[in-house]
Amino acid sequence: MTLGLAFDLLLACALLWSAWRTLSTPRLDRAIILFIAFGLLMTIAWIRLSAPDIALAEAAIGAGLTGALLLDAYGALRQRKRRRKAS
Amino acid sequence: MKALAKTFVVVWLALVFVAAAIGAMLELGPAALDLRAPVTDHLTDTGVSHPVTAVLLNYRGYDTLLEIAVLLLALLGILAAGGAAGSAAPKAAHPMLQASARLAAPLMILVAVYLLWAGAFLPGGAFQAGAVLAAAAVLLHLVGLTRGWDSPRLRLRLGLAGGFALFLAVAAALLTQGALLGFPPAWAGELIMLIEAGLTVSLGLILAGFFLFLSRDLR
Size of interface A-B (CB pairs under 8 A): 49
User: Is A61 near chain B, with CB under 8 Å?
Assistant: yes
| Dist CA A86 CA B25 (whole Å) | 55
Residue B106 has pLDDT above 50, yes or no: yes
| Dist CA B38 CA B55 (whole Å) | 11
| Dist CA B144 CA B137 (whole Å) | 11
Would the ipTM clear 0.90, i.e. be above it?
no
Per-block mean pLDDT, blocks of 10 residues, chain A (87 long):
88 94 92 94 93 88 85 84 83
Amino acid at A22: T
B210/A65 touch (CB, cutoff 8 Å), yes or no: yes
**Annotated domain spans of chain B:** 1-30, 41-214
Give the CA dihedral A43, A47, A51, A55, nearest 10 degrees.
20
pLDDT band of residue B90 (cuts 50, 70, 90) is low
Which residues fall within 8 angstroms of residue B4, CB to CB, at 6 or more apart? none
Q: What is the pLDDT of residue A1?
A: 67
Minimal CA separation from A36 to chain B, in Å: 15
User: Is A6 near chain B, with CB under 8 Å?
Assistant: no
Residue B57 has pLDDT above 90, yes or no: no
Q: What is the pLDDT of residue B219?
A: 45
| B90 within 8 A of A76, measured Cβ to Cβ | no
Q: Which residues of B touch A (CB under 8 A)?
A: 52, 115, 123-125, 127-128, 131-132, 134-135, 138, 142, 207, 210-211, 214-215, 218-219
Q: What is the pLDDT of residue B12?
A: 95
